[in-house]
Structure formats: structure tokens, C-alpha cells
Amino acid sequence: MLDAADEEHMRRIRVENERGGEAREVVAAVARALDVDIDKGPGHRWDLDHMRRVVAAAESLVQERDDLHQEFHAQAELLRQARDQRNVWKESFEKVDAQLVQPLRRELREERDKNEALSAEKRAARAADGRRTVLHPVFGVETRFYPDAPDTAYVDELHAVIVSQAREIARLKGESE
């Protein structure tokens, strides 16, 4: 009967050792995942202080995760607030654009259209007149010439302008003396 009791006792020890071995494998795997050197320090790797380092590393990782989670939510809230503020500014700019800028753009467009129409009328009037107006580069005198006329007409008109200018200069000189 003693032998039977010893045999039962040994069987229970083997089962317990087997379970303990499985637990040690789990602790070793967690230590590797957390990058904890379970063999560091005095004593055996399965001593309580060695295994507590693994637990402390796991708790530290959980705390870091919680801190990051809180920071994430704080950043997400700041982002939501920034989006809301951006939308308010965008609506404000759209109102200003609709109330002030768009009417000015329409007015500018109308003025450009009027300017183009007047320029077209002026070009049409000049084309109908058959002559061109040229501003003399030195004297600043407007001279008209007929593009289809012979060169003598232009020369005669230029001669008349020069003579008129010479008379004006002589008159002014006579008045100043």
C-alpha cells in the first residue's frame, strides 16, 4: 500500500512538473516578446524576482498602451475642433465671397465687356474713315494719313505740320524778345 501511495504521489509530482514546465514556457515566450532578459541577475531564471521582471514589463507595456490610447483620443478631439474651426472659416469666406467679391467680379467683367465693345466701335469707325491717326514721336502732333493714298499726300501733310510748327516757334520767339 505504501508503494501504491508512493506511486500515486510520484504521478502527481510528474503532472505538476509538466504543468509547471508549460507555465515556464509561457513565461519565457512572454519574456522574449517583451525583450526581457529573464536570466539576468543572480539566481536561477525561474526564481520569483526573475519572473516578476516579466510581469513588470507586461504591466509597463499595458500602461504605455493606455497612455497612447488617451493621447490618441486627445489628438482626435483636437483634430475635430480644428476641422470645425476650418469649416466656420470656410463658411465665413464663402459668405464674404458671395456678398462682396462676386459682385465686384461681375462689375469688372461688365466693364471689360464695355471696354471691348468701345474698342471695337473705335476700330470700326477708324476703318470706315479710311485713314489712320499717328502720333508723331518727336513733336507729339497727331498726323492723319490715308493708307491707300500715294506717298505725296503724307509728305504734303507732314510738310504742312512742320511749317505750322516753325511759324508757331517763330511767333513765340518774337513774343519773348
Q: How far apart are CA 126 and CA 147, in angstroms?
A: 12
Cβ contacts of 143-147, under 8 Å, gap ≥ 24: none
pLDDT at position 80, please? 96
Tell me if residue 12 falls in helix, strand or coil: helix
pTM of the model: 0.43
State the chain's mean pLDDT as an integer. 81
Cβ neighbour number for residue 27 with a 10 Å cutoff: 18
Query: pLDDT tens digits for 8-20?
Result: 777 787 777 777 7
Q: How far apart are CA 45 and CA 32, in angstroms?
A: 13
pLDDT of residue 65 exceeding 80: yes
Q: Where are the domains of the chain?
A: 130-177
C-beta separation of 144 from 132 below 8 A = yes
